[in-house]
Structure 1
Amino acid sequence: MRLSCITRNGKSGIYTHQCKNQMTLKNNLYSIISLNRDNNSASVELLPDSLIYKAHFPERPITPGVCIIQIVTEILGELKGINLSLIEVTNVKFLEVLSPSETKTVSINFDKIIEEDNSIKVRGTVADEAKIYTKFSLIYK
């Protein structure tokens, strides 16, 4: 497991430093069931025994929004075969609560992936057969 840290530049309010050690959620919060590079999607299983769910929340575990975005980031990295840094959240909508006690498996679907100017812009959803949990538009470097 790797840990993450960010320092903020007091003058401009811009995040200027990231440690090389970054925590990954793969095999800690979720496991990959399948990756489909042809249609830019993946199926993942949420791991209800994760320490994150024990803290958020013990009686009714809920996947934190920041963790959903990190899962999306890690899956995109797996599909592309590279490590990515999230540089902008253009839009994100958390439409439904994602709980491992109610939903074991979700799909991460990238409807649009545009690679330009040393960045990757993506749009997609986190969903199962019945619900869309999250819609996102993100930019990576």
Structure 2
Amino acid sequence: MSILTDFYHIEQFQEVSDSKYMVAIRLNPEHEIFEGHFPGNPVTPGVCMMQIVKDVSEQITRRRLFLTRSTNVKFMALINPLENPDIVLDIELSYEDGELVKVKNVSSFGGTIALKLTNVYKIIK
């Protein structure tokens, strides 16, 4: 269960291969987070995008995950939910030592890359 209640909805979930997924989400521009970030000019907080990547990774693995490391985190474009509510997450997963999940993500809207990151999560048993 996401801590981002009603912040986004998954519109499409596609397994591209054994380890690659394409997930289309729609942001809720009416969500209260945008009232403070920022009034009149909403911008999706980077930490919320990182949480969405975690949420989707938990759905893929069907496991609860704990973030242990982030590398190569690059916020490349602002996401205004009024102008670009539809986001595509391309996710690639690999497992390390049976208890870690490495997630590579590229999030984009309309062909514009907004976020690139690599996260490592510990599987919570």
**TM-score class normalised by the smaller sequence:** 0.7 to 0.9
TM-score (norm 2): 0.87
Higher radius of gyration, 1 or 2: 1
Indicate which of 108, 115, 118 corresponds to 1:127: 108
Q: Which has the higher contact order (CA 8 A, sep 6+)?
A: 2
Specify whether residues 68 and 116 from structure 1 end up closer, same or farther in structure 2 by C-alpha distance, changes over 3 A only. same
Give the 3-state SS of the residue equivalent to 1:99 in structure 2. Answer: coil
TM-score (norm 1): 0.78
Question: After TM superposition, where is structure 1 displaced by more than 4 Å over at least 4 residues in a row?
Answer: none
Percent sequence identity over aligned pairs = 30
Aligned to 1:55: 36
Shift of 1:58: 1.3
* Aligned equivalents of 1:70, 1:96: Cα separation in 2: 17
Shift of 1:61: 0.5
Structure 2 unaligned residues grouped into runs of 5+: none
**1:35 equivalenced with 2:16 (yes/no):** no
Shift of 1:23: 5.7
Shift of 1:129: 3.1
Give the aligned length. 118
CA deviation string 1:75-123 (max 9, x = no partner): 111122222111111120000001101102011111x321012101111
Give the 3-state SS of the residue equivalent to 1:66 in structure 2. Answer: helix
Structure 1 unaligned residues grouped into runs of 5+: 1-21
CA deviation string 1:44-84 (max 9, x = no partner): 00000101011101110001111110011001111222221
- Report the structure, 1 or 2, having the larger strand content: 2
* Aligned equivalents of 1:75, 1:108: Cα separation in 2: 9
